[in-house]
Structure formats: structure tokens, C-alpha cells
Amino acid sequence: MTDQNPNILPDGPDEAERPRAAAPGEDLTGLLRAWPYEAGRVNVRMLRAADGRTILQMRLELGVLQMELTGRPDGLRPEGRESLLEHHLARRDLWAKVHGDARGFVLGAEECAALREEAVQYYHRYVGLLVLEEYDGVIRDTTRNLEVFDLCRDHGAEEGDRSSLEQFRPYVVMMRSRAEAARAVGAGDPRGALEAIDRGLAEIRMAMEDIGTADRFDDANEVQLLRGMREMLVPRLPVSQRAELHERLRAAVAAENYELAAILRDELRLLEG
């Protein structure tokens, strides 16, 4: 048994570990008090930085996220590219050029993990942009993250890397469809908004079929949200479009596209009701 002297206390922290006085601008207390956190809502704002560029800020419970509006949200350029996605897409394209196609191009576990971490940055940005009704940015960032999903699914070395993001695909598709529909409504194009929602619903169904959850399609939150948007939009269609809907319904049935046919029947029911 080792002798211990109870009167000997552990050494205190090294000088480097002691807190130092905050330099001007380092203490964020004033900023956080001036912009209090509000639970239950996404707190975002856009500001003009000192150098003239526009930045996006998101208030979280324990602080503030600040993001660039273009490129990678943290402003970094990994490997000299706009993002890690761009870097790996360039690698894949070079592989395909040398080998004739992209088969055999593989992303390791660390590379996939870094892509997932990067995608989270874009997720925070497109959520904030949707609240601010900056729909072009939402469409850009959601489309970009879906490219990450595709790249990991098609080229991840490990099964977990190939499948782990697929559970989030319906959500990202829904967010893109919402932005596309809202942009179309703002442009006075309810027909285009409905088409964006229909595309989103079809894409979500396909994604859920791929991961074996098609039986939950009707109950999925993403599907219910898009269908709710569609129900609000259909009454805005001019009556003259009723004939067009009937024609599209006939064509969908003839082509045995029963999902589209069901959607068109719902639109007609709402329009004629």
C-alpha cells in the first residue's frame, strides 16, 4: 500500500491555464444581452460587416453562430476549394477521366465524416435563410447538401457511410420544395408552386422506398407539411386551369403514374369544391 500524506494538496493550475483578462471584443456578454435568446423560434438576422459584406447570425441558447452568405459558412476554403464537397467532386471527376467512369472511386470513413460535419454548417445556414425568406439561398444550400448525400451513398467505403445520411434526405427535399414553392408564389405563379411540391413529394416517396420506409409515407411529417401547402395553394389556381388538370390526370392514368394521378385528383377536388 502506497503511503499518502493527506496534508499535501494537488498542485494548482499552471499559469497558462488560469483565465486571463478578456481583450476588447472577446467578452460577448453585451452582445448576448442585447439579443436575447427566444425559445421555440429560429432567431436569425443579417448584418452588414465592417468590410461591407453581409453576414448571417443565428442566436442559440448558449451563444451566436455567424455565417458567411456564400461559399462555406465558416469562410474557410479547404484544399483551396469552396468546400470539401467541391474538393471531392473534383477528385471523383479526375478519377472518372483517368479510368473511364467513377466506379472504383472511394471515400474513406474520415472523409465521409468531414463531409457530414461540413453539411451541418450548410444546414444551419439554409434553416436561417428560410426564416428570412431568402429562398434562392435555401435552394442552393439544400441542393448542395443533397449532392453530399449522393456522393457518400455512391462512394463511401463503409456501409454506414453510404447509408447514414439517407434518413435525412426526405427532410432536405422537403425544405428545398418549400423554398421553391414559396419563391413561385412570390412570383405570382401558383401553378409552378404546385409543380415544385409535386416533385418534392415524388422524390420523398422514392427516397423512402430506397430505405424501406415507404409504408410510412403518408404519415411522414415532411409529406404532411407539403400536402398542407398544396391544399392552401390549389384554390388560388385560375378556373381556366381546371381543364389542364383534367388532361394531366388522364395522361397520368394512361401512363400508370398513379402517385401523380392521386395528387392531381386531390387538386381537382380542392379546386372544384
Joined grid coordinates for residue 233 = 395553394
pLDDT tens digits, residue range 207-262? 999 999 999 999 999 999 999 998 888 766 665 566 677 777 778 887 878 778 88
pLDDT tens digits, residue range 169-181? 999 999 999 999 9
pLDDT tens digits, residue range 1-20? 455 555 556 665 665 667 77
CA dist 63 and 32 (Å) reads: 7
Residue 1 has what pLDDT? 47
Strand partners, 60: 63
Residues 6+ apart with CB under 8 A from 222: 170, 171, 173, 174, 204
Amino acid at 260: L
With H, G, I as helix, E, B as strand and everything else as coil, classify residue 158. coil
Contact between residue 192 and residue 184 where contact means Cβ atoms under 8 Å apart: yes
